[in-house]
Amino acid sequence: MATTRHKKAAKYLRDSTSRKDALLKAGYSESYANTGQITYTKGWQEVLEKALPDELLAKRHRELLNKREEKRDEPETQAVTKGLDMAYKLKGSYAPEKHKVEVADEENPMLEELAERLNEILKK
């Protein structure tokens, strides 16, 4: 269930330049605002679904994909693309980023082993 702070954060997000700023204004701690963990909560997903329903995103996405000619009364495609990208990021719809640690000093077996362990952790 969405909390009052979830709702405040969503409201502030409309006027803020970042999710972190919105969360701080809503009363979350800086450490929590930095983690982005709020995107995984059911309450946040509930608030976002009301603000950015999947049907609306799908409609805009479909319009963008089917766009063939410029008309002055239609929204600019770059702005729509950026807006959709932000919406999908907010909703946590993208797959997590993948990272790989590489070691430049191949003569040091401890560094190689450490890189292997880090890569195993990052795969999880």
Verify that 8 and 31 share a domain, yes or no. Answer: yes
107 and 72 in a common domain: no
Is 9 in the same domain as 70?
yes
Q: Of 48, 47, 49, 24, which is closest to residue 34 (Cα–Cα)?
A: 24
> Are 18 and 53 found together in one domain?
yes
pLDDT tens track for 56-84? 888 888 777 776 656 666 667 777 788 78
pLDDT of residue 27: 92
- The count of domains in the chain is 2
Buried b (16+ CB within 10 A) or exposed e, 62-95: eeeeeeeeeeeeeeeeeebeeebeebeebbeeee
Domain that holds residue 113: 97-124
Alpha helices in the chain (DSSP H): 4-15, 19-25, 30-35, 42-51, 54-66, 77-90, 109-123
pLDDT in tens, 36-48: 888 888 988 888 8
At 28, the pLDDT band (50, 70, 90 cuts) reads very high
Q: In this structure, what token pair is assigned to residue 65?
A: 């994909």
Pairwise pLDDT comparison (26 vs 105), residue with the higher score: 26
Regarding whether 111 and 83 lie in a shared domain, the answer is: no
pTM given for the model: 0.50
55 and 108 share a domain? no
Residue 68 and residue 118 in one domain: no
**pLDDT tens-place string over residues 81-93:** 887 887 887 777 7
Residues 54 and 110 in one domain: no
Q: Is 50 within 8 Å of 28 (Cβ atoms)? A: no
Angle at which helices 4-15 and 42-51 cross, to 10°: 50
Mean pLDDT of the chain: 79
Nearest-angstrom CA–CA distance, 101 and 109: 15
